[in-house]
Structure 1
């Protein structure tokens, strides 16, 4: 089993047909079919179920597809890393980000970094915190940009400045009388729309104020929270900088006056692993703390 065979297999899995996969790979169908057969023989399992017009991955095929994608991504990343080392401060910096950090990251850190190092290109992978850490551990990305809280075992990290959580809502749901900030107790019994990773933090903060939060909707993306709030379905709770993701003129926000409801963007990396000069320079510019 080699990288070439894995790339062939991934194309077959993506296309769902050996014929169309062969066209994408610019090769004849029989040699591609032979490579698939050799791969199955080497692994001792059936990777695909062949139908009259398409193929379907078996359970073993699904396992190989996931692993093959990681291996191919890691191979590409390693190739870029070695190439970037030879080029010095030129090349590609691979970063994984969570959606709620995107506005801050792109507006501030990457823009400033790009002005200083104009020869650098970027490759961005997006996902939730768990996905970003998975990509980091597998070597697909060199740095991750996530939000607190996160599990930091084996992970190095550097924080940006702290920022408050805010309550976002339509004007119709605003009870504050025009105030820019609200107390945590004012969220009592109000339908809250939250990013699932903040559930424990929000719940504990509300409990300290003597009430259980009314968690109307839990989701995995700050953008979903904004969409639900924009529809007038509830009060969204998000980091302040994530409000920059909104493109909804009818949304307003109120800072939540609570020392407990603070969050920070963090740049993370795997400890004791080679770090390119590109990544080191980015970390230097990430925070002055």
Structure 2
């Protein structure tokens, strides 16, 4: 099994037809079918079930598809890393980010880095904190921009300043228009829209303050929280710096006066692992701000 065979198999898995996969790969169908047969023989398992018009991956095929995606990503990442080393401060930098870090990343370190090293391009992988840490472990990204809390094992961390959570809402939900801040208890019995990443923190903090939060909507992206709140569906809870991430034309916010509900953006990278010159300079930009 080699990289070429994995590319062939991934094309078949993505297209669902050997004919379409061959067309995508710009090769004839019989050699592609032969490569699939050789791969199945080598692995000793059936990778696809052939139907009259399409193929379906077997359980073994699904496993190989997922691994092939990771291996090919890592191969590309390695090639870029070597290329970046040879080029010095030109090339492409691969970063993983969580959605709620966007405003902080764009307003400060990324702008400063781009000003200093305008020849560098970027490849961004987005996901939640746990997904970004997984991408770091697999070598698909070099630097992750994530939010606390997270497990710091095997990670080098560089933290931004601590920031509060805010309650964002349309005017109809504003129980005290003259107040720009709110005690946590004032959110009792309010329909809350929260980012799943902070569910445990919010739930435990509310319980410590004597009430069970009324969670109306739980989602996987701070931008979704803002959009739902902007539509007047409830009160969103997000980090303060995330307020600029989505349409908030109808929104006001109140800072939540609770020391437990604070978070920080952090730049993280793997301990004892080679960093390209680009990644090193990017981290140094964080340190200088």
Per-residue deviation at 1:103?
Answer: 2.4
CA offset digits 1:47-85 (Å, max 9, x no partner): 111111111111100000000000000011001101110
CA distance in 1, matches of 2:14, 2:108: 36
Q: 2:17 is matched with which residue?
A: 17
3-state SS, counterpart of residue 22 of structure 2: helix
Q: 1:128 is matched with which residue?
A: 128
Q: Does 1:261 align with 2:249?
A: no
3-state SS, counterpart of residue 161 of structure 1: coil
Comparing 225-234 with 169-178, greater Cα deviation is found at 225-234
3-state SS, counterpart of residue 45 of structure 2: coil
3-state SS, counterpart of residue 237 of structure 1: strand
CA distance in 2, matches of 1:178, 1:122: 44
Normalised TM-score (structure 1)? 0.97
CA distance in 1, matches of 2:211, 2:51: 58
CA distance in 2, matches of 1:118, 1:288: 18
Per-residue deviation at 1:269?
Answer: 0.8
3-state SS, counterpart of residue 179 of structure 2: coil
CA offset digits 1:164-218 (Å, max 9, x no partner): 1100111111112232111111111111111112122212322332222222222
1:21-60 equivalences in 2 (<5 Å):
21-60=21-60
1:110-149 equivalences in 2 (<5 Å):
110-149=110-149
CA offset digits 1:141-173 (Å, max 9, x no partner): 111111111111111111111111100111111
Question: How many aligned residue pairs are there?
Answer: 289
Per-residue deviation at 1:260?
Answer: 1.4
CA offset digits 1:217-252 (Å, max 9, x no partner): 222111221122122221100011111112131111
Query: Does the 8 A contact of 1:91 with 1:121 survive in 2?
Result: yes
Q: Does 1:99 align with 2:102?
A: no
CA offset digits 1:261-286 (Å, max 9, x no partner): 11111111111111111111111111
Q: 2:251 is matched with which residue?
A: 251
Q: 2:89 is matched with which residue?
A: 89
Q: 1:220 is matched with which residue?
A: 220
RMSD: 1.3
3-state SS, counterpart of residue 156 of structure 2: strand
3-state SS, counterpart of residue 189 of structure 1: coil
Query: Does the 8 A contact of 2:169 with 2:229 survive in 1?
Result: yes
Normalised TM-score (structure 2)? 0.97
3-state SS, counterpart of residue 5 of structure 2: helix
Comparing 189-198 with 210-219, greater Cα deviation is found at 210-219
CA distance in 1, matches of 2:211, 2:52: 60
List gaps (5 residues or longer) in structure 1.
none
Q: 2:5 is matched with which residue?
A: 5
CA distance in 1, matches of 2:36, 2:86: 36
Q: 1:157 is matched with which residue?
A: 157
CA offset digits 1:4-55 (Å, max 9, x no partner): 1001111111111111111111111111111111111100111111111111
Per-residue deviation at 1:288?
Answer: 4.1
CA distance in 1, matches of 2:260, 2:63: 42
Comparing 279-288 with 157-166, greater Cα deviation is found at 279-288
Query: Does the 8 A contact of 1:160 with 1:287 survive in 2?
Result: no
